[in-house]
Amino acid sequence: SEDLSPFYLIDKQHTVGADYEPKNLVHLEKNDLFAINKNNLSLRPESFEALKVLAQAAKNDGITLTVSSTYRSYEYQKNLFAYWVKVDGLEEAERESAREGTSQHQLGMALDFAPVDDAFADTVPGQWVYKNAAKYGWSLSFPHGYEDITGYRWESWHFRYIGVEACEFQKKWFGDVQQFMMEFLDAWEDKL
């Protein structure tokens, strides 16, 4: 079967099955463009290419990005959510961790920069990414103040690759809120 669209709506109400895994995942190796802090990282080829472009732009500004999480399988996500429920309790876990089948990470187009916590926003790489990611097609999925819309609290470290043009549309027509655009595209597709 084909990989899902880069604009596939996935959230607490819109899911993918346990057997969905993108084809041709590219394994992230240690390299000179960006840092990795795990060995089992992989992305869909288009987002991998886009990560390299983003990382090169950061590098040109003297900044090294560190990638902490990328594609996650249904099973991995299931265990991860259970872990956060244990650590933080169910209510908190629901605010910043996705249940299996509902995570953008399963699509292979999203990533988390390190550190995966609020501190990222105040780091030099965090500020650079916040300012520049959209120019390279990376969209902040869970912006500040939209938990009631996205289902998740602000995650300054989590970006989804949607392409430069879609980032421009997101900003121009959807108040720079990715969720609004994805819901619109999903609703529109049903009408075509």
11 binds Zn ion (CB under 5 A): no
34-to-15, 25, 122, 177 alpha-carbon distances in Å? 31, 18, 19, 27
Q: What is the DSSP string of 130-184?
A: HHHGGGGTEEESS-TT-HHHHSS---TTEEEE--HHHHHHHHHHSTT-HHHHHHH
112 binds Zn ion (CB under 5 A): yes
Question: Could you tell me the strand order of the sheet in which 35-36 lies?
Answer: 35-36, 66-69, 110-113, 158-161, 138-140
Which one-letter amino acid corresponds to residue 158?
A: H
Q: Residue 110 CB, nearest distance to Zn ion (Å)?
A: 6
Of the residues 102, 106, 113, 158, which one makes contact with Zn ion according to CB under 5 A = 158
Stretch that binds Zn ion, among 39-47, 88-96, 130-138, 153-161 (CB under 5 A): 153-161
Stretch that binds Zn ion, among 27-35, 52-60, 109-117, 118-126 (CB under 5 A): 109-117
Side-chain-side CA neighbours of 58 within 13 Å: the count stands at 28
72 binds Zn ion (CB under 5 A): no
Q: Which residue is nearest to Zn ion (CB)?
A: 158
Q: Residue 95 CB, nearest distance to Zn ion (Å)?
A: 13
Of 11 and 112, nearer to Zn ion (C-beta) is 112
Q: Residue 129 CB, nearest distance to Zn ion (Å)?
A: 13
Binding residues for Zn ion, rule: CB under 5 A, are: 112, 158
